[in-house]
């Protein structure tokens, strides 16, 4: 049975945190909120716990996990060496939604790194995550707490829907803040490269490390090998998602034409819609799930995965959405997740 422990996100009950921490120390599986999405935690140095975690999520073994630590110093035993860049980045962005990929130490089990010579590490800022890590005093491997191929969970109810009966505890600390997974930055090769865009964007990283680049992992090839979990098919809801790209006018026109054509063929359509498009969409025989205003990408990021799950529950034949066109540090990450959902 999965137990749900409800805590105040700002000031979590230490008794409940202690219970969840004990469970982790004993090899259990505990879902908890981070500032990005809910994670499914297990003792990163306990192979059996890690194997249970992969089973619970139905996650392929070639998809490496992110190890969560309470403080920068807790990362030192997990890596081969601590590059200057890691220190500088952590000083600026930790705790927070930045994951660093570094050369690993032999202490980290192969199950965590999927056999790679690197390990991904992050220091989350959410008070519940921090309280749990501080209390458990172990590094905690935590992928997003969804079933593999389902959208990442941004509420405890999403975790419950996917993993009830498969894990020991869900610490419910309310909805997460950012709503998209952390930025994954590879610091293990010659040139630092973003493997997954997130709330810490390219410009913010370049302010600390000027030579950071973006690498497109979605296309496969070398980077797909470097980060096997970042294959395109990763964030998809069950219903096919069709992404119409381009500037607002173009993409909306394409989306509306597509919706009419599909409705004409008898398909039932859900549209994931920006507030700005609602008037135009009213004329169509579609069900609309609102994403919020395109002018507020932070709010869209917070809501995106919940909206994808809502669309999924409508049981439509297709979910249509257009690309986000506003310039904002989060827009690249949102567009990345829309593309993955649609792939």
Task: Provide the binding-site residues for ligand TXA, judged by CB under 6 A.
Answer: 34, 36-37, 39, 63-66, 97, 99, 101, 113, 116, 118-120, 122, 124, 142-144, 181-182, 184, 195, 226-227, 229-230
Please tell me the distance from the alpha carbon of residue 274 to that of residue 280, in angstroms, as a whole number: 11
**Residue 64 C-beta: closest distance to ligand TXA, Å:** 3
**Residue 48 C-beta: closest distance to Mg ion, Å:** 22
- Residue 229 vs 271, nearer CB to ligand TXA: 229
* Backbone conformation region of residue 27, classed left if phi is above 0, alpha if psi is from -120 to 50, else beta: left
Choose from Mg ion, ligand TXA, none: what does 126 bind? Cβ within 5-8 Å by kind. Answer: none
**Residue 63 C-beta: closest distance to Mg ion, Å:** 8
DSSP 96: S
Segment lying near Mg ion (by CB under 5 A), choices 7-15, 91-99, 129-137, 138-146:
138-146
**Residue 230 C-beta: closest distance to Mg ion, Å:** 10
Choose from ligand TXA, Mg ion, none: what does 277 bind? Cβ within 5-8 Å by kind. Answer: none
Please tell me the distance from the alpha carbon of residue 232 to that of residue 342, in angstroms, as a whole number: 9
Write the DSSP string, 277-309. GHHHHTTSS-EEEEEE-TT-HHHHHHHHHHHHH
Please tell me the distance from the alpha carbon of residue 27 to that of residue 49, in angstroms, as a whole number: 5
* CA-based end-to-end distance of the chain: 35
The distance of Cα 229 from the centroid of its chain, to the nearest Å, equals: 12
Please tell me the distance from the alpha carbon of residue 282 to that of residue 300, in angstroms, as a whole number: 21
**Residue 61 C-beta: closest distance to ligand TXA, Å:** 12
**Residue 123 C-beta: closest distance to ligand TXA, Å:** 10
36 belongs to the binding site for Mg ion (CB under 5 A): no
239 belongs to the binding site for Mg ion (CB under 5 A): no
Segment lying near Mg ion (by CB under 5 A), choices 45-53, 115-123, 140-148, 163-171:
140-148
Please tell me the distance from the alpha carbon of residue 74 to that of residue 112, in angstroms, as a whole number: 16
- Residue 113 vs 331, nearer CB to ligand TXA: 113
**Residue 184 C-beta: closest distance to ligand TXA, Å:** 5
- Residue 65 vs 271, nearer CB to ligand TXA: 65
Choose from Mg ion, ligand TXA, none: what does 116 bind? Cβ within 5-8 Å by kind. Answer: ligand TXA
Angle (nearest 5°) at CA 92 between 200 and 326: 25
| Cβ-based burial of 207 (10 A; exposed 0-12, middle 13-18, buried ≥19) | exposed
**Residue 222 C-beta: closest distance to ligand TXA, Å:** 12
- Residue 144 vs 227, nearer CB to Mg ion: 144
Q: Which two tokens stand for residue 129?
A: 């995550």
99 belongs to the binding site for Mg ion (CB under 5 A): no
144 belongs to the binding site for Mg ion (CB under 5 A): yes
Strand partners, 196: 184
Residue nearest to ligand TXA (CB): 229
- Residue 63 vs 290, nearer CB to ligand TXA: 63
User: Three-state DSSP class for 212?
Assistant: coil
Segment lying near Mg ion (by CB under 5 A), choices 92-100, 142-150, 167-175, 271-279:
142-150
CB 230 within 8 A of CB 217: yes
CB 240 within 8 A of CB 320: no
The footprint of Mg ion (CB under 5 A) covers 144
């Amino acid at each position: 049975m999965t137990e749900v422990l409800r805590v105040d996100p700002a000031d979590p009950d230490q008794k409940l945190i202690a219970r969840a921490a004990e469970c982790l120390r004993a090899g259990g599986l505990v879902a908890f909120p981070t500032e990005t999405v809910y994670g499914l935690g297990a003792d990163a140095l306990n192979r059996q716990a890690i194997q249970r975690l992969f089973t619970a999520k139905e996650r392929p073994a070639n998809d490496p996990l992110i190890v969560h630590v309470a403080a920068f110093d807790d990362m030192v035993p997990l890596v081969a060496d601590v590059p200057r860049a890691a220190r500088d980045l952590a000083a600026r962005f930790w705790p927070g939604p930045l994951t660093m990929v570094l050369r690993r130490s032999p202490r980290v089990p192969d199950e965590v790194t999927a056999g790679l010579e690197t390990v991904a590490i992050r220091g989350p800022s959410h008070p519940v995550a921090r309280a749990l890590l501080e209390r458990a005093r172990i590094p905690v491997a935590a992928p997003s707490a969804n079933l593999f191929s389902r959208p990442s969970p941004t509420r405890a109810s999403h975790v419950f829907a996917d993993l009830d009966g498969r894990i020991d505890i869900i610490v419910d600390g309310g909805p997460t803040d950012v709503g998209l997974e952390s930025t994954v930055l590879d610091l293990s090769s010659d040139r630092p490269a973003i493997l997954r865009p997130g709330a810490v964007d390219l410009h913010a990283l370049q302010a600390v490390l000027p030579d950071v680049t973006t690498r497109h992992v979605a296309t496969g090839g070398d980077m797909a090998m470097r980060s096997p979990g970042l294959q395109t098919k990763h964030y998809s809801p069950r219903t096919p998602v069709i992404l119409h790209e381009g500037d607002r006018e173009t993409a909306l026109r394409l989306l509306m034409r597509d919706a009419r054509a599909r409705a004409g063929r008898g398909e039932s359509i859900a549209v994931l819609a920006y507030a700005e498009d609602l008037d135009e969409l009213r004329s169509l025989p579609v069900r609309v799930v609102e994403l919020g205003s395109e002018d507020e990408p932070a709010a869209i990021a917070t809501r995106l995965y919940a909206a994808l799950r809502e669309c999924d529950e409508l049981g439509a034949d297709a979910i249509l959405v257009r690309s986000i066109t506003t310039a904002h540090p989060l827009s690249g990450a949102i567009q990345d997740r829309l593309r993955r959902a649609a792939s």
